[in-house]
Amino acid sequence: MARWIIITGLILIMIGIILHFAPWILKWFGRLPGDIRIETERYRIFIPIVSMILISIILTVIINFIKR
């Protein structure tokens, strides 16, 4: 269990470094067709439906690949 927490932490650190030094790499995230974005003068609503489905599929494939 501790090994997985350490690996997860290292992956999050790498993602953070990538986002800090190269933010344009994930600029597409949240702007896919199917993501709901409503902006008015008073408020903003953002519901990343398709982006979360894509992340879910990618994580499922990675986890299944690791387990086998």
- Decide: pTM greater than 0.75: no
Task: Residue 49: name the closest of 61, 37, 58, 62 by CA.
Answer: 37
CA 28 to chain centroid, in Å, comes to 11
Q: Identify each DSSP E strand in the chain by its residue range.
A: 36-39, 44-47
CA angle 55, 45, 56 (to 5 degrees): 10
* 8-60 confidence digits (pLDDT tens): 899 899 989 988 998 888 787 778 898 999 999 999 999 999 999 999 999 89
